[in-house]
Amino acid sequence: MTRAARLALLVAACSAVPASAKDYGQQGATFPVIEVDLLRVIEARLRAAQASGRIAAMQQDMQRKADLRVRRPLPVAGITVARQRRAWTFDPSITVQQDITDGRGRLIIAKGTRVNPLNTVPMRTSLVFIDGDDPAQVRWAVGSTTALNAKVILVNGAPLALMDSTQRRLYFDQGGKLTGKFGITHVPAVVEPAGKVLKVTELPVPSSRGAGA
């Protein structure tokens, strides 16, 4: 049999064998595809936390911290005791950012107009800022003002306890918004009306201690 005949016979034999895929077996670890319901996982964990008492403990801790912040708010940062008298004026005027109209669309104040609130709402009481942890400042503020002519505002201290002991309504400068607005960095400080502007005065009080001491 010639070489060409043998090659043709081999090709025919291979064509007669049915093709099949070979199974090479498992080559590594396999895992089933499972879609986890996240809400169910969270719910299960919450139930477990509730059963163990952890949620109740967290709620009590949050309530305790909230009560503490009400009784003693965070002190205004950067405020120290006044060692010398310093005074300046503050202009409360603002520039209107957009037209102000009435209910019928009629223009009341045009955009860009500078408006001084004291022209329409005069300030009738002074604002007195003090450190509520300084007994000398507290005595001075309560003794030199009345509830009718001044509002006493703390930058530090426990307002509820002081209201009980002084029998005066007190306020707290939360986040230092007022002292920051007026530029106050030392207490005691007084803000009082002076015509169309406000007069701001930082003044020392005898025997007052340094803030934070």
* pLDDT tens digits, one per residue of 67-123: 666 678 999 999 999 999 999 999 999 898 888 888 888 888 888 889 888 888 889
Residue range 155-170: mean pLDDT, rounded: 94
Residue 17 pLDDT: 46
Residue 88 pLDDT: 97
100 against 161, higher pLDDT: 161
* pLDDT tens digits, one per residue of 166-192: 999 999 999 999 999 999 999 999 999
Q: Is the pLDDT of residue 209 over 50?
A: no
* pLDDT tens digits, one per residue of 26-74: 555 565 555 667 778 888 887 887 888 776 777 776 766 666 666 789 9
* pLDDT tens digits, one per residue of 193-203: 999 999 999 99
Residue 107 pLDDT: 87
* Alpha-carbon separation of residue 178 from 46, 54, 156, 182 (angstroms): 42, 40, 13, 6
Residue 24 pLDDT: 43
Which residue type occupies 92? Answer: P
Residue 21 pLDDT: 47
Write out the DSSP string of the chain.
--HHHHHHHHHHHHHHSPP--------S---------HHHHHHHHHHHHHHHTHHHHHHHHHHHHHHHHHHSPPPPTT-EE--S-EEEEE---EE-SS-EE-TTS-EEE-TT-EE-GGGTS---SEEEEEETT-HHHHHHHHHH--TTTEEEEEEES-HHHHHHHH-S-EEE-GGGHHHHHHT--EESEEEEEETTEEEEEE---TTPPPTT-
Question: Strand 189-194 relative to strand 197-202: parallel, antiparallel, unpaired?
Answer: antiparallel
Residue 46 pLDDT: 79
Residue 5: which pLDDT band, with cuts at 50, 70 and 90? Answer: low
Query: Taking the mean position of all CA atoms in its chain, how far away is CA 130?
Result: 23
Residue 66 pLDDT: 65
